[in-house]
Chains A and B, each alone.
Chain A
């Protein structure tokens, strides 16, 4: 029995290690703000959403599968939350059975596991009732398959069979175990036997005929003896105890998995509700194959900025279809970084199977998003800083593979413009030739101009913060690179010194 609401044919692994660049992404894209909104106070929702967001899907079909499950959730939020609560309660009930330890001996597992199984059977019956009542309201592959599995596996006869075995497992006639002789006349092949016919008769006890047997008793204070006897028992019940404990585990895993997978969708419900109160739009993104290059969107905004300010923020539009590289130049404080972040987050949200913060978003499905942002404290032009930037780039090179997107924010500017441009040019060209698509915010004019001269057709040039008739805009618009980044503008604006 599997939930399989995140993947068509696999469990969602919440405890897997995050991609090596996860911390960078969280920091550079301000993902904590997004995750906090999704989670509310639910730590599990936080953890699951974080994994879903940072370790996203690589192919459009998987993304579509989640998008459809999510669409059902948006239609039936109450039922989804009810099943989530049920799974949460089942898991916490087991945690209350503190005496249950899967590391116990087989003999001990023989009485513990049936009790745990009994508890879960109760929750399964409740789940069955929800399914019977509501399954017709769900249409996605994920939900319908899940409901059908429950119906098939958990019929009434099966509930009854399990009930009978749970009673039988109390062994009224003692445990019967068969064995044969092995090396050194020790026992071997201990097998648990059906003991329903094994009562010792009165005749046998009196020693007058009946089955021949020889008995002995372990004295009450012989602890080593009791231990040795339990050891023999363990050998006999090893297989049965294993079956029962595995069943208990399987049930536990089922509820844990159900809780985990639903946590993601509950997070998505929370986010949607919050954005609705701000008045921000969301859209179902259209995931495309990696080639040919696709990236076009409208009304795309930085969701974290919006959540943080609790008000609508400027959205951008662009069409980079067919472009291997995007270069954004222009004024400081002109919305370049915000733009960069909104694209990065949109990629991540699409890869997670979520809705995207914008009016429309269509993109090639990348296999990873990397960020190389200049660090606030790193802007001084010393070689130590360049070292640090190059070291970070080298780490990215270790991890990155073709079909990824890299966001550069004012990278390699910790040296003079010519050197920085040359390093960046080599890095970007190597990435592009390795089928990686960089998105570069830079004030390195030499760099931008190089691509403008040599790769005009495959590069989209955007500009931020241009003065228009209506005054300065924070929108990012198409435009060729200009040999200034308006630093003087800013200097003037803040009043100089």
Chain B
């Protein structure tokens, strides 16, 4: 049985009180947004996949595809992030969403069951949880300092609803019934296939007696044979027959339940429902960056603007950071800045030194900023682009084929035709499969065009000369530890390209020199 968090009707209704957009919108229009073409190269496909994992029912991906191009739209979301900096707000709203999830789950179970007493019981539970959810939502919004335009609007709507007579009646009746049902006690007397259902009459606990008698033989670490029973609230036909007979033994309370169910057929408010979906955009992202923050990696709300003077400090690739976090490895952060006439970063240096990671970071940073989200880094000031283009070649591709080169050129041509002065272009090891001379010639032609466009660009290349094509180009290199040249630092720093090569000394291969061995063995 799959659990649908939102039903189709809710996903299609026009949203009037939104926390993602400044104006009302029709969510079904977003469904047709394709994944942006830069996603695969920047690993944003993985990232958004992980971010939305477990939240598939909310259909959040379209929100992550839809990057903003107005500074005020970004500011609208930044306000909400600032409100969500409060733990009590987040905790309160999370409680609300998890209860709403339970409600939805229960409604779907109730629809599916064949047994009448089961359905009524589940319906009652769904209503109680919904009441709790709404109460949590309104109290969270009321009892906390909130300043975003969006949440203030939601607060008005929800407060009004929570104090309405309809809602208060729902609360009272559902609680009363719940109390009565939980007082019911009955017994089963089973002999072979014969089952007798009767009221429980105070008989002693025989399991406890057995346990006491055999306690002496139970010490020590023996296995636990208690079966774990699933809490899956499915009812089978035997349980249904039992429930029917329990209903006969306790007639009054079960007829009250019946009339309650008839009166409360549909009970979820539409703003409560759309808010429940939209707030998942924020929580999904928070949940993704939470473990990274716990590892002392910082995120910040970037400045976004139309100026090409940009910078970021202590930034990193969030896909790599998430992977390293699971392995317990620390993450290397990087800084960059472009000032004055600088537009293009050309990255060279040792392989496996963090060049590709750096270029990806640059792209991720800009895209995430355009979603109005916090970005990895201590500080960031970023460009609000019209479109983000990427072209990542395959460094390892061993087969040089002229067909492939032509494909590459056509794709780059397409990018350069569509790019404007407001675009961001990221190119990684293009032409790596051609000769160095060809790559230099073609790379130069590409960069000349980018310079002419005045677009922002990051290019990773093994050709040092490309970093010398003009004042708008900044050279950065992956670096090594000067004390131990075989150790990559994964730092990419502003540095002239110098093409160093490194080898590992075989003498220390087995780490058996006096110093190394002392360190390995201790004390």
Contact = CB atoms under 8 A, between A and B. Distances in A.
Contacts of B197: 213-216
A423 interface: yes
A41 interface: no
B223 interface: yes
B417 interface: no
A225 B241 CA distance: 11
19 contacts: A162-B214, A173-B191, A174-B189, A178-B186, A178-B187, A178-B203, A184-B113, A185-B235, A186-B121, A192-B205, A200-B189, A214-B198, A214-B249, A229-B190, A238-B226, A246-B214, A249-B222, A390-B510, A427-B512
Interface in B106-140: 109, 113, 117-122, 125
Contacts of B215: 243
A216 B241 CA distance: 8
A197 interface: yes
Interface in B180-236: 181-182, 184-201, 203-211, 213-220, 222-227, 229, 233, 235-236
B237 interface: yes
Interface string A46-73: 0000000000000000000000000000
Interface string A190-229: 0111110110100000000001111111111000111011
B482 interface: no
Most chain A CB inside 10 Å of its own CB: which residue of B109, B125, B185, B210: B210
A401 B523 CA distance: 8
A165 B208 CA distance: 13
Contact of A109 (B121, B211, B225): B225
A-B complex: 10 closest residue pairs judged by Cβ atoms: A174-B191, A185-B121, A247-B217, A430-B517, A213-B198, A228-B238, A193-B203, A184-B121, A214-B245, A240-B207
A306 B186 CA distance: 77
A240 B206 contact: yes
B211 A177 contact: no
Given A186-B239, A243-B210, A179 B121 contact: no
Given A234-B229, A430-B521, 5 more contacts: A183-B121, A192-B206, A218-B193, A225-B193, A250-B219
Contact of A218 (B189, B220, B238): B238
A404 to B, nearest CB: 9
A229 B204 CA distance: 22
Given A185-B243, A213-B198, A246-B223, A434 B521 contact: yes
A221 to B, nearest CB: 11
Given A184-B125, A214-B197, A226-B193, A105 B188 contact: no
B218 A176 contact: no
A274 B406 CA distance: 83
Interface in A166-188: 169, 173-181, 183-187
A431 interface: yes
B124 to A, nearest CB: 9
A184 B522 contact: no
A181 B184 contact: yes
B522 A434 contact: yes
A241 B182 CA distance: 27
A436 interface: yes
B5 interface: no
A169 B223 CA distance: 22
A153 B512 contact: no
B514 interface: yes
B521 A176 contact: no
B187 A179 contact: yes
Contacts of B245: 214, 216
Interface in A360-401: 390-391, 393-394, 397-398, 400-401
Given A193-B206, A228-B238, A430-B518, A177 B190 contact: yes
B225 A194 contact: no
Given A192-B205, A426-B517, A401 B522 contact: yes
Contacts of A251: 217
A160 B121 CA distance: 48
Interface string B94-112: 0000000000000001000
Contacts of A158: 216
Given A181-B181, A246-B225, A398-B520, A194 B203 contact: yes
B198 A211 contact: yes
B195 to A, nearest CB: 6
Given A184-B118, A185-B121, A402-B521, A245 B225 contact: yes
Given A217-B194, A224-B236, A253-B220, A106 B520 contact: no
Interface residues of A, number: 90
A178 B196 CA distance: 12
Nearest to B123: A184
A433 B516 CA distance: 13
A200 B201 CA distance: 14
B518 A176 contact: no
A427 B225 CA distance: 52
B249 A239 contact: no
Nearest to A383: B506
Nearest to A124: B217
Contacts of A240: 206-207, 210-211
A193 to B, nearest CB: 4
Interface string B164-192: 00000000000000000110111111111
Contact of A176 (B188, B224, B243): B188
B264 interface: no
Nearest to B523: A402
Contacts of B181: 181, 185
A179 B186 contact: yes
A429 interface: yes
Nearest to A398: B520
A182 to B, nearest CB: 8
Contacts of A105: 227
A241 B211 CA distance: 9
Contacts of B229: 231, 234-235, 238
B183 to A, nearest CB: 8
A228 B236 contact: yes
A434 B518 contact: yes
A176 B195 CA distance: 10
A45 interface: no
A270 interface: no
A197 B189 CA distance: 11
A466 interface: no
A130 interface: no
B187 A176 contact: yes
B436 interface: no
A237 interface: yes
A307 interface: no
A207 B422 CA distance: 88
A244 interface: yes
Contacts of A175: 189-191
A440 B248 CA distance: 88
B523 A194 contact: no
Nearest to A249: B222
B243 to A, nearest CB: 5
Contacts of A224: 236-237
Contacts of B196: 200, 213-215
A441 B380 CA distance: 65
Contacts of A1: 216-217, 219
Nearest to A192: B207
Given A192-B207, A243-B211, A183 B125 contact: yes
Contacts of B184: 180-181
B514 A246 contact: no
Contact of A434 (B118, B186, B225, B523): B523
Nearest to A200: B196
A239 B118 contact: no
B460 interface: no
A102 interface: yes
Contacts of A470: none
